[in-house]
């Protein structure tokens, strides 16, 4: 993650987004099937797990909230058990400002997906459209007008299920005449928003075909890249994001050259709600001063995080920061990146941390690090800087400079991340431990009878201390002695 991206993500929390649109509740029932029902000779699905998630415009609100924005959410629910579950999930996501309006007779829109061992079999829908009375619509419009005055952007999530009426659109047109706010529209039908000239829209490939009137082509990327003027003319939108699933996104503006951003390749578990994650992240990046290219990278990265989850899901700010950290070098050179790693992974993976100088790397080091990695799921290695090694070991050390020592550690499969540390005030890895909060802290067995300066901190974090045996006669000091004094000590072979 570069400096510009860090600055963009830091300002997400300053943005206040108003979300309005169709609420949906997503339910997932997953089980196994290995028998038939005697009464009808149909397969029996034995349910093993059940999960309820926010869908539709609620997933947008959840994504924006999880990415750090301030969110006001206005929608319609029914008066049923599904509405109770919906309200509980909205509170669980921590959305601070909820303006919920309840229709008299319509059920809360609910989509139930039946899965067999993770594979989708059927989807069952309850409710098709909300039909609020005039008095309930008036309450919706009052909340909308009040919230519009305090937001930085309006996000309309219109699945054509009744929440966004002509009265809402007419009211919005009047509000925009008085005060322009960034308008983002994600809709089944973009034509009804044309006179509002949205700032950002996100048609998928199929929807873009309908807007342009063209037929599908094999080369979707090239085709979408030529749509800039047509899409702008037919929608009056300023920025148009044509999403192409695994092929990424084509970003276009009127009379400007379109560009294609390639999505990162990841394992896809569930694409439901991926577009919500993408557009939520794009909007916040756009409001935070990102270029179209920077916003596309951030948005595609966020969507890639979401689709790796098994159900309709959002991407948290910590997950996004972690996903933007380059993984090719293994080196984390600041505590912010390390904290992102910890917040994202420590609840699911057992993080192991150890530290040292690793000056002249030898087989004892390799054996030690392999043992450390075997204690958990992820190994982070702290490495003393050159100045720190000199303070600890004397003016003639290190033999190898930091970049060379890091290069050796990078080549080890057992090492997941490397963090340089040490300064004039403190040569212990306390700052790393505070940011990382490891499950296990590893040192050599020579600390068995020594005081660990980090022990109090480790105990306060609940980290377990493991002391691993060193290989006899294997040390940087002994290797230096052999070279300098022609020492004939035979180094013990690791079995």
Q: Which residues are known catalytic residues?
A: 276
Q: Checking phi first, is residue 260 left (phi over 0); if not, alpha (psi -120 to 50) or beta?
A: beta
Residue 115, helix vs strand vs coil: strand
Using CA atoms, how far apart are residues 129 and 487, in angstroms rounded to an integer? 85
Name the token pair of 38: 């005697």
DSSP 191: G
Name the token pair of 361: 């790397």
Using CA atoms, how far apart are residues 152 and 328, in angstroms rounded to an integer? 37
Write out the DSSP string of 9-62: HHGGGG-EEEEEE-EEEEEEEEEE---B-TTT--B--EEEEEEEEEEEHHHHHH
Using CA atoms, how far apart are residues 287 and 295, in angstroms rounded to an integer? 10
Cβ–Cβ contacts within 10 Å for residue 324, how many? 20
User: Is 445:467 a contact under the CB 8 Å cutoff?
Assistant: yes
Write out the DSSP string of 54-112: EEEHHHHHHHHHHTT-EEEEEEEE-SSHHHHHHHHHHHHTT-SEEEEEE-SSPPPPEEE
Using CA atoms, how far apart are residues 240 and 24, in angstroms rounded to an integer? 25
Question: How far is the CA of 57 from the CAs of 81, 157, 159, 276, in angstroms?
Answer: 19, 5, 9, 8
- Please, what's the b/e burial string for 381-395 (b: 16 or more CB within 10 A of its CB; e: otherwise)? bbbbbbebbebebee
Using CA atoms, how far apart are residues 490 and 207, in angstroms rounded to an integer? 73
């Amino acid at each position: 993650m570069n400096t510009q991206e860090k600055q963009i993500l830091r300002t997400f929390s300053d943005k206040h987004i108003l979300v309005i649109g169709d609420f949906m509740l997503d339910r997932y029932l997953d089980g196994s099937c290995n028998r038939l029902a005697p009464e009808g000779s149909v397969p029996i699905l034995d349910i093993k797990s059940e999960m309820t998630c926010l869908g539709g415009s609620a997933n947008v609100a959840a994504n924006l909230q999880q990415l750090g924005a301030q969110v006001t959410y206005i929608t319609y629910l029914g008066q049923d058990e599904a509405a109770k579950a919906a309200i509980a999930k909205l509170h669980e996501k921590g959305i601070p400002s909820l303006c919920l309006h309840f229709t008299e007779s319509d059920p809360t829109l609910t989509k139930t997906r039946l899965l067999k061992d993770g594979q989708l079999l059927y989807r069952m829908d309850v409710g098709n459209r909300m039909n609020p009375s005039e008095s309930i619509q008036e309450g919706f419009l009052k909340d909308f007008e009040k919230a519009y005055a305090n937001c930085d952007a309006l996000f309309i999530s219109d699945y054509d299920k009744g929440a966004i009426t002509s009265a809402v659109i007419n009211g919005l047109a009047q509000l925009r005449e008085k005060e322009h706010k960034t308008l983002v529209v994600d809709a089944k039908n973009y034509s009804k928003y044309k006179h509002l000239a949205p700032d950002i829209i996100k048609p998928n490939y199929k929807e873009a075909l309908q807007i342009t009137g063209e037929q599908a082509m094999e080369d979707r990327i090239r085709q979408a890249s030529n749509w800039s003027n047509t899409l702008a003319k037919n929608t009056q939108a300023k920025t148009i994001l044509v999403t192409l699933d695994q092929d990424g996104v084509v970003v276009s503006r009127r009379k400007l050259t379109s560009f294609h951003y390639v999505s990162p390749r990841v394992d896809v578990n569930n694409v439901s709600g991926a577009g919500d994650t993408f557009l939520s992240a794009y909007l916040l990046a756009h409001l935070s001063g990102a270029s179209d290219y920077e916003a596309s990278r951030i948005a595609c990265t966020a969507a890639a995080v979401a689709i790796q989850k098994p159900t309709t899901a959002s991407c948290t700010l910590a997950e996004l920061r972690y996903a933007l950290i380059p993984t090719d070098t293994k080196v984390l050179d600041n505590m912010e990146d390390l904290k992102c790693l910890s917040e994202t992974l420590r609840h699911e993976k057992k993080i192991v941390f150890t530290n040292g100088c690793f000056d002249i790397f030898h087989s004892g080091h390799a054996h030690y690090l392999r043992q450390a990695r075997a204690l958990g799921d992820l190994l982070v290695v702290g490495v003393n800087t050159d100045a720190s090694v000199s303070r600890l070991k004397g003016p003639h050390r290190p033999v190898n400079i930091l970049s060379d020592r890091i290069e050796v550690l990078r080549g080890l499969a057992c090492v997941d991340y490397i963090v340089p540390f040490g300064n004039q005030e403190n040569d212990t890895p306390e700052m790393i431990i505070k940011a990382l909060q490891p499950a296990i802290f590893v040192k050599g067995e020579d600390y068995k009878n020594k005081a660990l300066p980090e022990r109090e901190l480790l105990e306060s974090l609940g980290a377990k201390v493991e002391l691993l045996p060193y290989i006899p006669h294997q040390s940087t000091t002994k290797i230096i002695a052999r070279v300098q004094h022609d020492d004939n000590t035979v180094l013990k072979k690791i079995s």
